[in-house]
């Protein structure tokens, strides 16, 4: 159950249980989590009794057989037996060519539909049948695509680094996790940068073309040397630092500009970090390796070219959009930029007759930076593992739009995550009428230092618990804060230090909802005037420990009835016999009172939902002052 909540928090496969898992590498780790994965489907209607969980059909979500497109470039149509086996597998749409090793890995856990070159219209038509989508840089995953998925799409995998072709905001809004493959093509991109640098300096492309045209122009294609020249690496991240390392090997002086780079890492590579302007004024060669962001959009423009050394040479294997392309044409024509070597373009492919592509001092490649056999196999495996992991309920290490929560934190917090969701779920059911829930305060009592307790998962799950029972929203770690904000729900968190053992992450979690009325008045605390529920974890099981001002002790595994009564002998028997008459099994019962024979709150865990008539009979017991049934 814990993992069900966490999987949902991770934005992963709610309603998706992948049964056949591979046994090797990271996939084998997932195999060990089979039980957890099965529990993932609980939110989608899993029946759970006595610790035995069974997958039940939840409409179209649980039964999926490949809806394969006969026009697909690669289609694996399952045989009848395979289809049967595949019944509970998620569907992954691979929309751009992916290495075979990645496809094989995915096929072990999913129905894989490889449909390349889909138009936006075709992608939108297909996407509502898919749990995951894998793309490279050629597919625009727009808001329209997320809307067309109608909530089914849970993961977008970008088989590469740049995620500028994915609308992250739209993904986050619908709770779709976006993961990328940030490392496997680093060396390929760096090598391509160096290829372009050397090819440009020695006019390799032009000389080759001229010779193939029957010419022998030894004087025309005299190049420039690299040794002792200054190379400015703009963006000293993974690719940039690999380019720097290689350029040092060519005898170049390497400087770098990167507002976020570590000076120590630069020093270790013998690279001097400089300002943007200094990089421009000192460089003989400029190699671009920053992401395309609102800040870097057209950062190379008339003004910046104007600051460059006359005759500078530019290499771009990052993103076309970081260069104002008409400004580069002007700088080339003016001789400010002597040459440019470009792998990436603002619009890909560029329009026919594009002035930059056709400029005589420009060499071009069609976005080939990541295109080596080795990189593509690596990227395919990296993204397949990330997508399969996300579908299996793991929090991904390469998530782009969700906070990273280390695996050990997830394991340790598992029962608290369940507790958090259930407290939220119970608290919202206690609200009556009117204004709605706007202000929620969560108090964590813990002996841990602030930086030793990551509460993001807990907050997301409280949000899930608060919102899901009263709306059609699907909440997970990806979109919890966004959805809360959209709904005007303000969740504040407070840490209260205790003297307890630091081995225990949390002693209690308290959820309070202020400025609302309650359908169970005793849930309003005398202390703060707000609906107040406190919970704790005992032996790995979440418990409700306080309702309003009353202490209770009831495990949060089943639905509960809260009942305020005048404390007197025989109450437990009366309640028990009314529930027993309707065959409602009581799993747990506790009575909290402030003093004998005064008001008391009875919390009763029930395996079945009592009928209205039965609840009414409880209410008719003379000593019962109020009661409420809360569903978990
Ligand atoms: N042509 C290709 O096929 C190809 C292949 C791989 C990567 N790329 C692109 O190369 C770029 C770098 O990839 P990476 O894997 O090294 O990413 P990375 O995140 O490791 O590095 C990017 C670096 O740019 C820095 N940066 C951010 N804003 C900056 C700014 N305004 N000025 C200077 N630096 C800034 C960041 O601090 C970071 O260090 C990305 O745009 C990626 O999409 C292209
Ligand atoms: O960002 C990247 O990883 C590169 O631009 C590679 O893109 P590609 O996967 O489309 O080759």
Regarding the beta carbon of 180 and ligand 1, being less than 6 Å apart is answered no
Q: What is the pLDDT of residue 216?
A: 98
> Tokens representing 114?
């490889």
Rounded CA separation 301/298 (Å) = 6
Ligand 2: distance of its center to the CA of 371 in Å?
A: 8
Q: What is the pLDDT of residue 123?
A: 98
- Other C-beta atoms lying within 10 Å of the C-beta of residue 333: 12
Q: What is the pLDDT of residue 435?
A: 60
Rounded CA separation 148/124 (Å) = 5
Catalytic residue among 84, 121, 303, 348: 348
Active site residue 348: yes
User: In this structure, what are the phi and psi dihedrals at residue 103, rounded to the nearest 5 degrees?
Assistant: -60, -45
End-to-end CA distance of the chain: 12
> Tokens representing 444?
């964590």
Cβ-proximal residues to 268 (8 Å cutoff; 6+ apart), any chain: none
Nearest to 66 by CA among 106, 120, 12, 100: 106
> Tokens representing 365?
């490649």
> Tokens representing 567?
């404390």
Asked casually if ipTM beats, i.e. exceeds, 0.90, the reply is: yes
Ligand 1: distance of its center to the CA of 158 in Å?
A: 15
Q: What is the pLDDT of residue 399?
A: 85
Cβ-proximal residues to 534 (8 Å cutoff; 6+ apart), any chain: 423, 508, 509, 510, 511, 544, 545, 546
Ligand nearest to the CA of 290: 1
Regarding the beta carbon of 290 and ligand 1, being less than 6 Å apart is answered yes
Ligand 1: distance of its center to the CA of 390 in Å?
A: 25
Rounded CA separation 391/16 (Å) = 7
Ligand 1: distance of its center to the CA of 96 in Å?
A: 22
Catalytic residue among 253, 319, 456, 564: 319
Ligand nearest to the CA of 136: 2
Regarding the beta carbon of 192 and ligand 2, being less than 6 Å apart is answered no
> Tokens representing 463?
């949000």
Q: Which of 275, 290, 372 for mutating ligand 1's site (highest number of atoms within 8 Å of CB)?
A: 290
Regarding the beta carbon of 136 and ligand 2, being less than 6 Å apart is answered yes
Nearest to 196 by CA among 377, 368, 379: 368
Is-contact 138 96, C-beta < 8 A? Answer: yes
Rounded CA separation 278/246 (Å) = 22
Is-contact 426 438, C-beta < 8 A? Answer: no
CA angle 170–174–175, rounded 5-degree value: 110
Mean pLDDT, consecutive 10-residue stretches, the chain (632 aa), reads 40 30 34 26 24 22 21 31 62 97 97 96 97 97 97 96 93 92 95 98 98 98 98 96 98 95 91 97 98 93 98 98 98 98 97 97 98 97 95 80 75 92 95 80 94 88 90 82 88 95 95 93 93 96 94 90 83 84 84 71 89 89 90 88
Active site residue 367: yes
Is-contact 153 127, C-beta < 8 A? Answer: yes
Active site residue 289: no
CA torsion sign for 584, 590, 592, 597 is positive
Largest CA-CA distance found in the chain, in angstroms, rounded: 109
């Amino acid at each position: 159950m814990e993992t069900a909540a966490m999987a949902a928090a991770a934005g992963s496969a709610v309603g998706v249980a992948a049964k056949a898992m591979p046994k090797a590498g990271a996939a084998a780790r997932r195999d060990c989590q089979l039980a957890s994965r099965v529990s993932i489907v609980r939110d989608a209607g899993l029946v759970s009794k006595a610790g035995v969980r069974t997958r039940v059909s939840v409409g179209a979500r649980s039964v999926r057989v490949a809806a394969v497109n006969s026009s697909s470039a690669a289609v694996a149509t399952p045989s009848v037996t395979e289809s049967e086996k595949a019944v509970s597998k998620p569907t992954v749409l691979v929309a751009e060519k992916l290495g075979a090793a990645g496809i094989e890995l995915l096929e072990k856990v999913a129905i894989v539909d490889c449909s390349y070159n889909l138009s936006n219209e075709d992608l939108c038509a297909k996407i509502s049948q898919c749990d995951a989508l894998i793309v490279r840089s050629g597919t625009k995953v727009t808001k329209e695509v997320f809307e067309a998925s109608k909530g089914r799409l849970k993961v977008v995998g970008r088989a590469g680094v740049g995620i500028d072709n994915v609308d992250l905001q739209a993904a986050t809004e619908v709770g779709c996790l976006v993961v990328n493959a940030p490392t496997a093509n680093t060396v390929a991109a760096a090598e391509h940068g160096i290829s372009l640098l050397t090819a440009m300096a020695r006019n390799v492309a032009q000389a080759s073309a001229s010779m193939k045209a029957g010419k022998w122009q030894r004087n025309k294609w005299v190049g420039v040397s690299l040794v002792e020249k200054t190379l400015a690496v703009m963006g000293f991240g993974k690719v940039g630092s690999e380019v720097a390392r290689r350029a040092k090997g060519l005898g170049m002086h390497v400087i770098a500009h990167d507002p976020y780079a570590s000076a120590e890492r630069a020093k270790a590579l013998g690279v001097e970090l400089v300002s943007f302007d200094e990089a421009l004024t000192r460089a003989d060669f400029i190699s671009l390796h920053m992401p395309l962001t609102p800040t870097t959009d057209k950062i190379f423009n008339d003004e910046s070219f104007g600051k460059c050394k006359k005759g500078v040479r530019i290499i771009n294997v990052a993103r076309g959009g970081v260069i104002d392309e008409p400004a580069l044409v002007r700088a080339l024509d003016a001789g400010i930029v002597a040459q440019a070597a470009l792998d990436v373009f603002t619009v890909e492919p560029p329009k026919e007759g594009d002035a930059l592509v056709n400029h005589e001092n420009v060499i071009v490649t069609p976005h080939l930076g990541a295109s080596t056999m080795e990189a593509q196999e690596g990227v395919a495996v990296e993204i397949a593992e990330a997508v399969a992991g996300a579908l299996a309920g793991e929090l991904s290490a390469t998530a782009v739009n969700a906070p990273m929560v280390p695996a050990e934190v997830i394991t340790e917090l598992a029962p608290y995550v369940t507790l958090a969701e259930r407290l939220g779920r119970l608290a919202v059911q206690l609200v009556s009428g009117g204004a709605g829930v706007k202000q929620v305060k969560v108090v964590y009592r813990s002996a841990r230092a602030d930086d030793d307790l990551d509460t993001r998962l807990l907050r997301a799950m409280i949000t899930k618990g608060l919102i899901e029972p009263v709306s059609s929203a699907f909440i997970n770690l990806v979109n919890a804060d966004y959805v809360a904000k959209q709904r005007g729900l303000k969740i504040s968190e407070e840490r209260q230090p205790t003297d307890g053992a630091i081995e225990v992450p949390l002693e209690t979690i308290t959820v309070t909802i202020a400025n609302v009325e309650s359908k169970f008045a005793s849930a309003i605390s005398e202390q703060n005037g707000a609906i107040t529920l406190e919970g704790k974890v005992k032996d790995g099981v979440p418990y409700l420990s306080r309702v309003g001002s009353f202490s209770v002790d009831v495990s949060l595994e089943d639905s509960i009835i809260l009942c305020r009564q005048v404390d007197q002998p025989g109450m437990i028997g009366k309640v028990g016999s009314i529930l027993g008459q309707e065959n409602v099994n009581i799993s747990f019962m506790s009575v909290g009172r402030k003093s004998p024979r005064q008001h008391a709150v009875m919390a009763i865990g029930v395996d079945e939902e009592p009928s209205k008539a039965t609840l009414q009979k409880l209410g008719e017991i003379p000593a019962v002052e109020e009661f409420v049934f809360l569903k978990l």
